Structure 1
């Protein structure tokens, strides 16, 4: 009898169900504290309020309202945080947060082979998605690259209902000895199965024909590379077009049916890239040679002599002053050279 009375008192303490308002509440949601009477009412309240029923352990609770349950919950929460931090210290992914000097043998050979072809191949760390997607293969018996190529066909018709006006296709391995026109013909020539399957997306490019298409390589390793690209020649092989360029993992090539870069991009020439790399002065460039420093100081020395000669009241032609100044200057240059060598 006493047990029945205590149960009734505990249910009455919660009041009436806030969902159906027809029964006494039996449960209280740990997160939003909505009072419910049954499982259907619990499910209704979760759906209407978008509630997951998980108590917010970081919710502010006044000190006057804290009970042993809140203290124990906070203690468990701090232990979970400590455990998470300890696990992150031993996470194998942290090995890829800094550059590894020693590349695997296959990647090292690939980069050296690209260097012989005058291609600056940059390989990302193993944890990067672009590195995981890369399927570029170097056949050592044939001494030939088979590149993964990402094709981005620009100026897609609006009726294609794409989120952007660019259609993306990927070829896993493209022979470096094949021309760009031959590699892209399967997307343009309607006699090819791929072209027929993508007729809706590539209608503009197929209408223009392979001879009217322009190919643009997305620039890497230069300033504002996200908005710049190089013009490629369709009659040259893939390897010839990549020579002298910087490639991050694999090339990304835009294809347009107009003789201009895709929207939002500007053309860049290789000479522009070279000029940008040489913008730094020999004095500010790290590892500058002592000869370059001395030549730069020689220019400053000549300017000093001109100013001294033009200054009234000074005779710049006195040999003793010249010899003394020259000796002091050479001593300073030798000191700078010694500093550069060390």
Structure 2
């Protein structure tokens, strides 16, 4: 070898490598040094040269290098023009636009850098495949010929069977060694778990594979894994992942998602769920407007209301979220260590405090219906007190300190309490008694908000960790859906018609979740500070916030069968008011409650 010869005193240097600048004495040594140091022997024309050592030769080299780059790009442009002229274009451009719109309802390109005629540059079979993926609601992006992922893509469309065959790649990040497998052609109607069974179910054919996937190939592995699809066109430093349903077909899981060439599905362990931030199906963001409370810019542009009408109540409202509950013509709200009842059928309004033997801080007061009986439920440091619908008689008191800990309502330990009403005969008359019939402990942090659907078939609860649980009261309050959001918690929730769930967050964000699987359907930057209360009426949702704004959102579908869109219908600045409660009276009139003020505000249209 050349190093050995030099060490023995061979000093006849005949060759210096242009790339690594090592010296050799012969052709044999030159070849040997290339093998040993993995050197190609070609000068690096882009190597950095310091200004002090920069010569005319370096200047000439740079000049000719740029000339070559120019010639190469010019030649590539001419070749592309020739290919376009010779390629058979797909004629149904109008049809393709319609199909693409189904995959992307907004009409905007998923990747705006792609030319409008990009699809026409591919062979007919590829165009046909892309056309049918769009019809199935998939926003497919094709890479340029020569890209490795484009070369690996074996997906195709079988027109006779009307079936898409996808190439699917599986990535197992928690395997003993990095492992990836793939399906050459998986039917789009096949469930994801069905595709995975050949790798994880015990059989003689996959012993070697299961040996590498010991953490995955366990009994009932379906319950221990998450199937994730990375959201395309997001920053590499902020990845997001769609959570796929293994029991659903490939077609169902890819609907309304962007895919580059073919899906690459990450098979993660359930214990590692926090490592994969959740992405959502379709997100519509409406930017909030930075406007001070003293400025009425929003009011001049879009507001339903004239100045509000003050309705004195004699008792100031507390600073708690959702601090206004309405039933018919009656309303209740919390006032430090009291609950205040308001009868709006009289002028002026009649108000009184609910009778309470001992004074404790009130955290929440709500109208509730139990077996057709309208009651007022007060949650305080002393437990739960239940009053009749007029707020004049206490029907039951439930002390909970010994049951759930420091927070009498049970929320500090993440517990939900289910109250039950029983009819008892006393002195020949029926009376109501209440008791805790069930304690639900799935939450791991303090509960922030609880809300039921309009038809009573669903119950939503949120906690301080950001988790939202959806339960079915008809099935023993079993958790049927989990919404995990690793950020600030939900402060308020409300259900709309058809069980669409609207959630307000501490960040001022408003989110709409679909009733089928409670995936995020729309997201709006509704306020600049925390949303403190929500209320829904028909297709409208009212939101109030610490930023002193009252916003009305129209949530409706523009076309039959399409998902609803979120539109700002009205925005009203309420200077110097820290709004804590809102309740609709009709479609375009409502009440608001304000912290530390002894009145309600009634808002009516202009």
Specify the TM-score bucket, using the shorter chain as the normaliser: 0.5 to 0.7
- Is 2:144 the partner of 1:130? no
SS of alignment partner, residue 270 of structure 2 = coil
Q: Specify every segment of 5 or more residues in structure 1 that has no aligned partner in the other structure, as ranges.
A: 1-16, 283-296, 308-342
SS of alignment partner, residue 266 of structure 1 = coil
Question: 1 or 2, which has the higher strand percentage?
Answer: 2
**CA 1:48–1:129 in 2, change beyond 3 Å: closer, same or farther?**
closer
Q: Distance in 1 between matches of 2:208 and 2:37?
A: 46
- Structure-to-structure mapping, 1:1-342, within 5 angstroms: 20-21=8-9, 25=12, 27=14, 29=16, 82-83=67-68, 85-91=70-76, 95=80, 99=115, 101=117, 102-103=119-120, 104=122, 105-156=124-175, 160=176, 162=177, 166-191=178-203, 193=205, 195-212=206-223, 213-221=225-233, 227-258=239-270, 261=273, 264-270=275-281, 273-275=282-284, 278-279=285-286, 300-301=300-301
Contact 1:114 1:120 (8 Å CA) reproduced: yes
SS of alignment partner, residue 124 of structure 1 = coil
**CA 1:48–1:131 in 2, change beyond 3 Å: closer, same or farther?**
closer
Q: Distance in 2 between matches of 1:235 and 1:148?
A: 19
Once the two structures are TM-superposed, the CA of residue 216 in structure 1 deviates from its matched residue by 1.7
Task: Provide the alpha-carbon RMSD of the alignment.
Answer: 4.7
SS of alignment partner, residue 267 of structure 1 = coil
Q: What CA deviation, in whole Å up to 9, does each residue of 1:221-255 have, x standing for no partner?
A: 45669621122222111111112222221112121
Q: Specify every segment of 5 or more residues in structure 2 that has no aligned partner in the other structure, as ranges.
A: 82-112, 290-296, 308-606
Q: Distance in 2 between matches of 1:206 and 1:214?
A: 13
SS of alignment partner, residue 227 of structure 2 = strand
| Number of equivalences | 255
Q: Distance in 2 between matches of 1:250 and 1:237?
A: 15
Q: Which deviates further from its counterpart, 249-258 or 206-215?
A: 206-215
**CA 1:50–1:208 in 2, change beyond 3 Å: closer, same or farther?**
closer
TM-score w.r.t. structure 2 length?
Answer: 0.34
Q: Which deviates further from its counterpart, 26-35 or 83-92?
A: 26-35
**CA 1:78–1:108 in 2, change beyond 3 Å: closer, same or farther?**
closer
**CA 1:154–1:94 in 2, change beyond 3 Å: closer, same or farther?**
farther
**CA 1:244–1:192 in 2, change beyond 3 Å: closer, same or farther?**
farther
TM-score w.r.t. structure 1 length?
Answer: 0.57
Aligned to 2:460: none
Contact 1:130 1:249 (8 Å CA) reproduced: yes
